[in-house]
Structure 1
Amino acid sequence: MFSKAFSSPSKAYWVIQGAGLIWLLATVILLRYYGLGWIVALVDASIFSGVFLMGVFVLDRIFSFYIPKGINTWLLLILPLVLSLIGVLIHRFSLELIFDSDEELALFLKSHLYLRWAIMALAEVMITLLAIVVSKLEQQQATQRRELHIMELSKEAELTQLRQQLQPHFLFNSLNSINALVVSSPQKAREMVLLLSDFLRGTIRKDHLTWISLREELDYLNMYLEIEKVRFGHRLRIDFKVEPEVPGFSLPQLLIQPLLENAIKHGLYGVTGEVTVILKAWKNQNYLVLSIENPYDPETVSQGGLGFGLSSVERRLYLLFGRNDLLNKKALDTIFIVELKIPQMK
């Protein structure tokens, strides 16, 4: 009980020593009140405190290995009563043995036997119940820690799964484009394969939980855009508008790429001319804010089908921050805007 009730042995040691000292002093004062001499009172109190602490130690050993439940809870009362009775009997016989010629003391011990038993039993019962409560609380805390650990593992597993879904999603799109270019433009197909290889080599090795600077993320985005430019040619134009103070800000790796891929897909859908996708980045209080704007045709693009990229980023943000308000979408006439807010941990 005490071994579980306190976080370190030194703390438990000092608490037990302090309780024993208080018990000793209180006993001495009480015995002096009843008229016993100092020597008798000190010996009496020392033995009484010793048997009390011994009883507490025995209870500690018993309930450290076994906590009664159900119909066995009566042991929480019976054991302290039995141990306290044994303690007061040992105390009485010890004093009678030490002061064998003191008949007045023997009479005093006999007349106060039940009072001593009641006091010691009450104290040991209270200590037992207190230690059991503390032990239960510690078990609850341990259970909560395990549940939190399981939740963290679950989040990591889902984040890993999301990333494994995102990479094939982008990869399949690129392979379809390569397949289309093989016949019409073999040189562009070869160029796209090399760019795709470089991009995947740089991203697969990264830990999905690692935060990187916006500057590094933009480097990955430029590699990705080189692939898309081979795919769409002169039709695709990307305009970066990044404030000077934000390239050093941090964000989860490859968080923007699915949004940019979604913007390119829906911006170029049903459009034959040149399309400009605008990516902006700025600071707002303790947030790195990014917005991606792309043209879209309200008549051909359903707002209900915004793609896998947006939903995966929304889920990833929730797993990382526990919030659903960090990604906002809105349509203004023929412009679709996605705004992303990333809390800065520093």
Structure 2
Amino acid sequence: MRHPLLRNHYGIPIYIGSWILFVLLLFFIGWYFDGNDWYSSFVNSISFSLPLLVLGACIWYVVSYVSMDESGILGFLLHHLTAAAVVVGVWVSVGYQIRVGLFGEDPEGINYFIPIHWQIFFAFCVYDYIILIYYLIIYYRNFKDKAVMESELKNLVKEAELNALKSQINPHFLFNSLNSVSSLTMSRPEQSREMVVKLSTFLRYSLGQDLKELNSLANELNNIRLYLDIEKVRFGDRLLLNFKSTTDCEELKIPNLILQPIYENAIKYGVHESLEPVSIDTNCEMIDDVLKITISNNFDPEAIPPRGNGIGLKNIQERLGLIYGRTDLLKIVKTESQFTVNLEFPQVK
């Protein structure tokens, strides 16, 4: 694990600044509280603090290789008691040697620093404080790493779920379209060939889209019109289409292929089961930074609804929840002969 002093550009300046504050604190205690002259206070503070400048950084390696989870509480305490005894012994000894080497042994005018037992006790307290800071740094690092890993895992799960939804959407549409082509093959072969060409173009677009990406409303509606052209070959005048959208809505973003299952349902439960013309009406408008799309169709209330698993609308609900983190963006209103789907797409500025 990389030393925190080397991890960023501010590590060493912060460490040196903290050490200088420690020196000034010892100087202030000796000069103000103990009544020593400023020179004695300076000698005592600098000689006692210099070893800490190196030892404080070295303590990190003890902390980084001693974990309570791996060593247990007893092993953890024994490791640090041993390390503390070594560090304190080196600290006090080197501090004394610096004092004698640089300033002489108790030269006249220099008062001796606090008694040796208080030096040892104070050094132990500083050691405990330093390891506490280092363990907090390790905890913070682990917390950040865990948060990043959880975020990456959520993204992977979301991508897997979206891919699973895509594997349901494409076959769902393909089966419906192939049934439509099959119904035209014998009765209207020319129109069936036209339908196959349009189906090929539509599938090329659909399979090339990523369900977790956003696309402009204009592109999605163009693709929807292509799909409806395919179905109109089959149903003719029984399928009526009305699109209403303001120009400011065209470049707004919505998830790829999010509207497709709604139109499939309108065809399956409305047009397919009715002998009368069925109108699919689409209205798009921007309200308070939210793109609101309403898709409605009439249907024959006396018709027997075809069997189905409800995959389309369920997929839309799940995708909206995965992409926007909300469950209130899809609302369905069903009356005696009208089926309406209200969708909301928040726009990120």
TM-score (norm 1): 0.90
Tell me if structure 1 keeps the 8 A contact 2:296–2:338.
Answer: yes
In structure 2, the residue matched to 1:120 is 123
Map residues 133-148 of structure 1 onto 2, 5 A cutoff. 133-148=136-151
Tell me if structure 2 keeps the 8 A contact 1:288–1:342.
Answer: yes
Tell me if structure 2 keeps the 8 A contact 1:59–1:80.
Answer: no
Tell me if structure 2 keeps the 8 A contact 1:2–1:131.
Answer: no
Residue 102 to residue 49, structure 1, CA distance change in 2 (3 Å): closer
In structure 1, the residue matched to 2:232 is 229
Tell me if structure 2 keeps the 8 A contact 1:76–1:125.
Answer: no
Map residues 1-346 of structure 1 onto 2, 5 A cutoff. 3-4=3-4, 8-33=7-32, 34=34, 38-69=38-69, 70-71=72-73, 72-74=75-77, 75-100=79-104, 102=106, 108-109=112-113, 112-300=115-303, 307-346=310-349
Question: Matches of 1:307 and 1:146 in 2, distance apart?
Answer: 35
Residue 271 to residue 304, structure 1, CA distance change in 2 (3 Å): closer
Deviations 1:253-293 (A, max 9, x none): 11111111111211124311211111111122111111111
| More displaced stretch, 259-268 vs 77-86 | 77-86
Question: Matches of 1:232 and 1:253 in 2, distance apart?
Answer: 26
Residue 96 to residue 248, structure 1, CA distance change in 2 (3 Å): closer
Residue 275 to residue 7, structure 1, CA distance change in 2 (3 Å): farther
Question: Matches of 2:303 and 2:238 in 1, distance apart?
Answer: 19
Tell me if structure 2 keeps the 8 A contact 1:263–1:292.
Answer: no
Unaligned runs of 5+ in 1: none
Deviations 1:61-111 (A, max 9, x none): 2223443432322034542343123211221233234455537799935x6
Tell me if structure 2 keeps the 8 A contact 1:76–1:128.
Answer: no
Question: Matches of 1:255 and 1:298 in 2, distance apart?
Answer: 27
Q: Secondary structure at the match of 2:258?
A: coil
What percent of counterpart residues are identical? 31
Residue 327 to residue 303, structure 1, CA distance change in 2 (3 Å): farther
Question: Matches of 1:17 and 1:295 in 2, distance apart?
Answer: 76
Question: Matches of 1:215 and 1:7 in 2, distance apart?
Answer: 52
Letter in 1 for 2:282: L
Tell me if structure 1 keeps the 8 A contact 2:165–2:315.
Answer: yes
Residue 303 to residue 314, structure 1, CA distance change in 2 (3 Å): farther
Question: Matches of 2:275 and 2:307 in 1, distance apart?
Answer: 23
Q: Secondary structure at the match of 1:184?
A: coil
Residue 302 to residue 3, structure 1, CA distance change in 2 (3 Å): farther
Tell me if structure 1 keeps the 8 A contact 2:274–2:303.
Answer: no
Tell me if structure 2 keeps the 8 A contact 1:292–1:338.
Answer: yes
Letter in 2 for 1:20: W
Residue 56 to residue 97, structure 1, CA distance change in 2 (3 Å): same
Deviations 1:119-144 (A, max 9, x none): 22212201211220231122022112
Question: Matches of 2:179 and 2:295 in 1, distance apart?
Answer: 25
Question: Matches of 1:194 and 1:9 in 2, distance apart?
Answer: 60
TM-score (norm 2): 0.89
